[in-house]
């Protein structure tokens, strides 16, 4: 097929097969396979994004692809922003340059003052690129992964980093366990009496979804690039999948004595270990992942603390450090050998929960470029 450069019509257009066959990850045994059916659904009229939002799609078969997204009320640091995402490319800057310049022109025509990415639709989807250069280990669910040359290409296009993120992985050790016990005062911290800790299972997640949705929107309010999503979209994106995949032994929510939910911590096993093509068993497909199926296959399971949220009314009391420590201790008691705090914005207070011990750090960047006024 010929190259594709067009504003997307979700009612009539369908992503071609060539969108999914770029020769980028064929040799990667650890790469998460892309679900073409799920991506096509995102680009269809069934996606509530298109009620107010618009998209543009670019494809140079065999070389590069890119999409761009626009909502009139979407802002990043006070500027109207369009996002570019679903970007994949071979190591050839010219192909991406052609797509990016066309996407940038389209974004500018919509009224954008800034273009930022990679972001797939919004920051509730996958976004950022990984820049630490080590991409041979297990890739976390939802973690960006890409060839090392992506950073070079974005720099050549004139984009600058606008936000930095990190993942920290700490192995089990006597020193780390002692550090965690110190943080929660060996589980005698006043928070254990003042608030109640509950295991968060799939049934509770589904039944109390409106409360978790409302709380989640509160968590991220004021964050750069954040735009609230409806309960309908929240259910669609985070409903059954989160419930099936979360670790039932370490995922928790916290309430006041009256039963008000004030915090929750979502945790998962590192599913990257069971989707690898070189696994010593038949790899699971992303659509098959669940705690019950995957955890028994893991030789050295790694716990991923993915979402940490406390209602603003209860911040500033040291609760986050106590509950992160509680989560990690439960993880080690459940048989995990590493604790991972995933995809945190640089400067996040959670970083102070890390001891001065050996750890692995992964780095990610979000890029942007200011657009001149029309």
Domain residue ranges of the chain, discontinuous segments joined by + = 4-165+366-370, 174-356
> Quick one: pLDDT at residue 264?
94
d(CA 337, CA 250): 14
Asked if the 174-356 domain carries CATH number 3.10.400.10, the reply is no
Specify the pLDDT at position 351: 58
- Scan for tokens 């001149």, then name that residue: 372
Phi, psi of 15 (to 5 degrees): -60, 130
Distance CA 114, CA 364 (A): 20
**What pLDDT does residue 223 have?**
74
Q: Do domains 4-165+366-370 and 174-356 have the same CATH topology?
A: yes
| β-bridge pairing 114-117 and 261-269 | unpaired
For the domain spanning 4-165+366-370, the CATH number is 3.40.630
Write out the two tokens for 33: 């396979």
Cis ω before 118 (30° cut-off from 0): yes
pLDDT along the chain (374 residues), means of 10: 95 97 94 94 95 97 98 92 98 97 98 97 92 84 94 96 93 94 93 94 92 91 79 84 92 96 95 95 94 96 92 90 94 96 78 72 96 72
- Predicted pLDDT of residue 242: 87
């Amino acid at each position: 097929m010929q190259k594709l450069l067009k504003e997307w019509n979700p009612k009539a257009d369908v992503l071609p097969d060539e969108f999914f066959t770029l020769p980028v990850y064929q040799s990667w045994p650890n790469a998460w396979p892309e679900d073409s059916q799920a991506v096509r659904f995102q680009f269809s009229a069934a996606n509530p994004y298109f009620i107010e939002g618009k998209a543009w799609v670019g494809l140079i078969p065999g070389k590069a692809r890119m999409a761009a997204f626009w909502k009139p009320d979407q802002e990043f640091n006070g500027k109207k922003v369009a996002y570019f995402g679903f970007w994949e490319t071979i190591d050839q800057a010219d192909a991406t340059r052609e797509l990016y310049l066309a996407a940038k022109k389209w974004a500018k025509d919509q009224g954008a003052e800034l273009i930022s990415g990679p972001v797939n639709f919004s920051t509730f989807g996958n976004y950022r690129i990984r820049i630490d250069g080590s991409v041979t280990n297990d890739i976390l669910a939802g973690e960006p992964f890409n060839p090392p040359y992506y950073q070079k290409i974005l720099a050549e296009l004139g984009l600058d980093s606008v936000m930095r993120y990190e993942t920290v992985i700490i192995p089990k050790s006597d020193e780390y366990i002692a550090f965690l016990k110190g943080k929660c005062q060996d589980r005698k911290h006043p928070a254990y009496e003042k608030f109640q800790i509950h295991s968060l299972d799939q049934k509770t997640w589904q039944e109390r979804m409106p409360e978790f949705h409302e709380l989640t929107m509160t968590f991220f309010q004021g964050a750069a690039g954040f735009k609230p999503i409806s309960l309908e979209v929240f259910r669609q994106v985070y409903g059954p999948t989160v419930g099936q995949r979360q670790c039932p032994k370490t995922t928790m929510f916290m309430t006041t004595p009256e039963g008000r939910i004030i915090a929750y911590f979502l945790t998962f096993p590192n599913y990257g270990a069971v989707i690898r093509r070189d696994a010593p068993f038949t790899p699971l497909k992303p659509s098959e992942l669940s705690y019950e199926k995957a955890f028994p296959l893991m030789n050295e399971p790694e716990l991923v603390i993915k979402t940490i949220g406390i209602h603003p009314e209860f911040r500033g009391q040291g609760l986050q450090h106590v509950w992160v420590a509680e989560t990690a201790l439960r993880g080690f008691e459940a048989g995990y050998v590493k604790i991972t705090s995933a995809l945190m914005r640089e400067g996040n207070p959670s970083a102070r929960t890390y001891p001065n011990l050996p750890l692995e750090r992964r780095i990610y960047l979000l890029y942007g470029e200011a657009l001149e006024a029309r």
